[in-house]
Amino acid sequence: MSKIAVLGYGVVGSGTVELFYKNKDKIIKKSGRDLDIGYILDIRDFPDSPYADKFTKNINDILEDDDVKIVAEVMGGVGDAYEYTKKCLEKGKSVVTSNKELVAKKGAELLKLAKAHDCNFLFEASTGGAIPIIRPLHQCLAGNDITGIEGILNGTTNFILTKMINEQMSFEDALSMAQKLGYAEKDPTADVEGHDACRKICILSSLAFGKHVYPDWVHCEGITKLTLEDACYAESWGGAIKLIGSVKRTEDGKILPMVRPAFVCYGNQLSHISDVFNGVMVYGDAVEEVMFYGRGAGKLPTASAIVGDIVDAAKMNGTSVSQVWEDSPDSSFIADYKDDVVSVYVRVRGVTGEKISSAFGTVEYLSREGQPDDELAFISPAMKERDFDAKLDSLGGQVLGKIRLLDM
């Protein structure tokens, strides 16, 4: 029998154990191997748990047991999780994880380590929760030249924006509701500032284009500056505001990964994804576009992806040759987002239409209910972002809002 070790017994860890035992017979049949959970590592005590006999506080119990073939790392962060993952891989134990920070920052190193020790480092749960996206990218869509990926990668921010759009809530009130419902942490910075989505687009970019994209190389903006007024203008324009993580190949062969709020027209399927659901669009030369949709987070949805990777790891004979990318010594293959050609929504106060026309030429003006007399909102013509910034600086007045239009 092959043993599984689960590192961490929080929300995802407990969900992984729960789902494994709920569907154990089916999991064993699908994996073709007799499996059981041998250890659960956590610094806390769980004396009333039905799995109390499986708990340990010592990682060496797992490392020194040759029957442990697969380890599910669900601790989070890049401290102990990173050190334990390295040690497990060095012992030839495959590791599956939902830890997007670990994969985004250390993925190239850990994939190389897995290959050196003839085991696997799998991370389907790190980007889309229950949504299968990692496996399709390197297996189902392997015959395509992938040209771009874009999506809603964070359920918390999508919930907040949905409330702002559908129920006319302020950002602050929508965030407060998300926290009360357990969708947002007490400290919501990673979600609302875009860091979570940034880690996920780094992982997808690395896998799709073959070179490790580090979070520090990605231009990232969150949703904290968005207002109810912006949401109303988006609706009058014919779309919705979404926090979009994307990557595309540029004309010079580089790639441009980015996270930012965007106006998404109602003709784009992403505009209709609401609440805590996520959606990812993949563009390829053969399929043109395909979409993956589902719950992007949560106890059992994330556990579903973890257990799926456990089954895959159990079935594999040797290291996956397709779920891999190279490390990157520098960011020379990353395009400057300021050179990207964009149209931008702008909301200003104290600026005349004549000055806007003088700076931008012909623009599309927007309106909303209750629009003040001294407020103008418009969509700029498409141009390089650095040129747009220069024209916006020349306007004077007060810039109240600035949001790019989704261009893929």
- Classified as helix, coil or strand, 139 is helix
**Exposed / middle / buried, residue 89 (Cβ in 10 Å: 0-12, 13-18, 19+):** buried
pLDDT at 330 > cutoff 70: yes
CA distance 41 to 5: 8
pLDDT at 296 > cutoff 80: no
> What does the pLDDT average to over 209-230?
97
Average per-residue pLDDT for the chain: 96
Active site residues: 200
- Classified as helix, coil or strand, 199 is helix
**Which is nearest to 11 in space by CA: 299, 306, 303?**
299
CA distance 278 to 289: 16
CA distance 280 to 294: 9
Say what the pTM is.
Answer: 0.95
**Which is nearest to 384 in space by CA: 206, 210, 250?**
250
pLDDT at 232 > cutoff 70: yes
How high is the pLDDT of residue 408? 65
DSSP state of 258: E
CA distance 201 to 154: 11
DSSP secondary structure, 71-109, as one string: EEE-S-SSSHHHHHHHHHHHTT-EEEE--HHHHHHHHHH
CA distance 162 to 241: 9
pLDDT at 391 > cutoff 90: yes
How high is the pLDDT of residue 110? 98
pLDDT at 38 > cutoff 90: yes
For 324, other C-beta atoms within 10 Å of its C-beta total 18
Q: Enumerate the β-bridge partners of residue 348.
A: 376, 399
CA distance 47 to 36: 20
CA distance 31 to 382: 51
> What does the pLDDT average to over 26-33?
96
Q: pLDDT digits over 108-166, tens only?
A: 999 999 999 999 999 999 998 889 999 999 999 999 999 999 999 999 999 999 999 99
> What does the pLDDT average to over 295-314?
91
Specify the pairing of strand 255-265 against strand 398-405: parallel
How high is the pLDDT of residue 184? 87
Q: Enumerate the β-bridge partners of residue 260.
A: 244
* 197, 94 Cβ separation under 8 angstroms: no
CA distance 188 to 27: 35
How high is the pLDDT of residue 129? 81
Q: Tokens at residue 395, please?
A: 């306007």
Q: pLDDT digits over 173-194, tens only?
A: 999 999 998 888 899 999 999 9
For 49, other C-beta atoms within 10 Å of its C-beta total 15
